[in-house]
Amino acid sequence: MIRTLRNLARLATIARTFSRHDSLFVHELREVAPLLAILARMVSRRSVPGRPGQRLAAALGELGPSFIKLGQILSTRSDLVGEQVAADLSQLQDKLPPFPASEARAIIERELGAPISSLFASFDDHPVAAASIAQVHFAITVPEDGEPGREVAVKVLRPHIEQKFQRDLDLFRWLGRLLLMVYPRAKRLRPTEVVAIFADTVRLEMDLRMEAAAASELAGNFRGDSSFNVPAVDWDRTSRRVLTIAWINGVKVDEIDRIVAAGFNPDDILAQASAAFFNQVFRDGFFHADLHPGNLFVNEDGNLAAVDFGIMGRLDRTTRYFLADMLLGFLNGDYRRVAEIHFQAGYVPAHQSIEIFTQACRAIGEPLQNRPLHEISIGRLLAQLFAVTEQFEMETQPQLLLLQKSMLTAEGVGRTLNPTINMWELARPLIEVWMRENRGPEARIVDEVTGMIEAIRRLPKALVQVEQAAAEIAGGTLRIHPDTIAQMVGAQTRRHGRLAWRIWGATVLVAVPLVIIVALILS
C-alpha cells in the first residue's frame, strides 16, 4: 500500500511536468489508451513551442537523472517512439548542477582507502563536467618512482545516486505492469522490455569499474594504431564509484576553426573517424556507442581521442555478417537478398511473405538509388528498416538499435567536419578488404573447417556422456521408457551420422592438400 501511494504521488508530479511541456503524446495514447488520451488532452497545454520530441526532452530533463537516462535509452528505440522523436531525444543534454567538491573528496577517500593528498598532488575542486550519474574533476597524481605526476580525469559517482535510480526504476516497473493490466493493447509498446533494458544499462553505468574495463578493452583493440586513442586507466585509483584515466589535451571534434588553426585538415580527421568506427563495428564487434562531439577530441598530434565509455555496444560475428550482407544488398539494389538474409537470420518469422517483405525493402532502398553519395545516411536507412520490419513481426534487436543510433551520431560528426563527403565512402578500402576476408569463398571454407574441427573436438565428450548413460542404464539407476529409448537412439544416430560426415569432410580437406604437396615433392 505504501509503495502504491508513493508511486501515485510521484506519478502526479510526472504528469504535471509532462502537461506543462505538452508532452503527453495525446495522438499516440488515443490508439492504445483512449480514456487516458481524453484526460491528457484536458490537462495538456497547447501553446508550448517545439516538436513533440523536443517537448518530451525538456520534460525529461526537468524530472532529473533517471528520466534523462530514460530519454537517452528511448533515443535508441526509434521503433518505439519514431525516428523524429528519437533524433530529438538524442539531443537531450545530460547536464546537471555539480555536487560539492567536499563530497567528491570524501567519496574518493572512502572508496580508495587513502587521503586525497596521498593520491593526488593537486585536485581541482571545480568539476569540468557534471552529468546525471557522475561528475569529472581534473587532477595531477602524486609523483612516483622519480617520475613526475600525471594529468588525469577523476570521475566520481553522485552521492546516493543508486538509491535515487532504484526508486525511479521501481516506479517504471510498476507503471509498465499497470499499463499492460489496464490497457492490454499497449503491449505493442513493450513497456516492460524498455524498463528492463534501461535497468541493465544503468546498473552497468553505476559501476565505474565496468567503464574502466570497457576503456581498457577498446584501447587494446587499437594498440599500435595512433589514429584513434583511448586514455589509459589508472587502476590503482579506480573503484566502483571512482574512475581515474589519463587526461586528454585536445579540441572537440566539432570545433572546426580551432582544428584548422592548429594546422590540421578536417578531411583527414574525418577519414580517421570513418576508419575508427568501421574497425570498432566490423573488425572488433565492440564499439563506443556515444561518440558525440563532446566525447571525441582531436589531440595535439592531430589524431582522434575518445572519452566516456559508459555506453558500449557489442556485435557477435554472425550479426556483423548479417549487417554487412544487408547493407551490401541495399547499396547494390538487391532487395531480394536483403529479404532473404532477414529470414535466414530468423529475424523475420518464416510464416511471413518473403515477396511482400522484399517489396517493403525496395520501398526503403529505391529512394537511395542515383542520389549523391554524401546524401545517403546508413543510420537513417537502418531506422527506416526497423520501422518497416516491425510490421512483419521482426523481433527487436537491441544491439542493432544501439548501432543505428551510433551510426547517426557518427554521421553527424562527419557532416560537421565536411558535409560534402560520405564517411562510409572513405572507409570503402577497409570495407572491401573485410568483405573479401570474411564474406568471400575463402572465408566460407574456413568457417566450414572451423565447424568441423569444433565437431571433432566435441566428440570425446559426447562419447563419455554416452558411456556414462549406458553405465547408469545397466546399473538400473536410470530408467527410460522404451519409446523414449527409441527416440533417443534415432536422434543419436542422426546426430552421429552428421558428425561422421563432418569428420570425413574435415579429413578430406586436410588430407588432400597434404597428398598433393607430397606428390609434388616426390616428383
Q: 3-class SS at 228?
A: strand
Q: How far is CA 466 from CA 220, 470, 492, 510, in A?
A: 42, 6, 10, 28
Task: Report the C-alpha gap between 74 and 261 in whole angstroms.
Answer: 38
What's residue 229's pLDDT? 96
- Which cell goes with 240? 566502483
Residue matched to cell numbers 555506453 = 311
Distance of CA 387 to the CA centre of its chain: 18
Greater pLDDT, 142 or 490: 142
* Candidates 88, 234, 290, 308; catalytic one: 290
Of 39-53, 122-136, 393-407, the least confident: 39-53
Question: Has residue 287 got a pLDDT over 80?
Answer: yes
Rounded Cα gap, residues 367 and 330, in angstroms: 11
What are the backbone angles phi and psi of residue 219, rounded to the nearest 5°?
A: -65, -40
CA distance 282 to 287: 9
Q: Supply the pLDDT for residue 35.
A: 55
What does the pLDDT look like over 64-114, one tens digit per residue? 888 888 887 777 666 667 778 888 887 777 778 899 999 999 999 999 999
Question: Which residue spans of the chain are classified as CATH 3.30.200?
Answer: 95-247
| SS3 track for 448-466 | HHHHHHHHHHHHHHHHHHH
pLDDT category, 444, cuts 50, 70, 90?
low
For residue 155, name the pLDDT band (cuts at 50, 70, 90): very high
Lookup: cell for 244: 581515474
In angstroms, rounded to a whole number, what is the distance separating the alpha carbons of residues 332 and 284?
A: 25
Say whether 290 is catalytic.
Answer: yes
Check whether 46 has a pLDDT greater than 70.
Answer: no
Distances (CA, A) of 289 to 85, 115, 295, 312, 317: 19, 35, 11, 5, 18
| Strand, helix or coil for residue 306 | strand
CA angle 316, 317, 322 (to 5 degrees): 100
Q: Which residue has 568441423 as its cell numbers?
A: 452
Q: What is the mean pLDDT of the chain?
A: 80
Decide: 112 and 126 in contact? Cβ < 8 Å. Answer: no
Top CATH class of 95-247 equals alpha beta
**b/e code 264-287 from CB counts within 10 Å (16+ = b):** bebeebbbbbbbbbbbbbbbbbbb
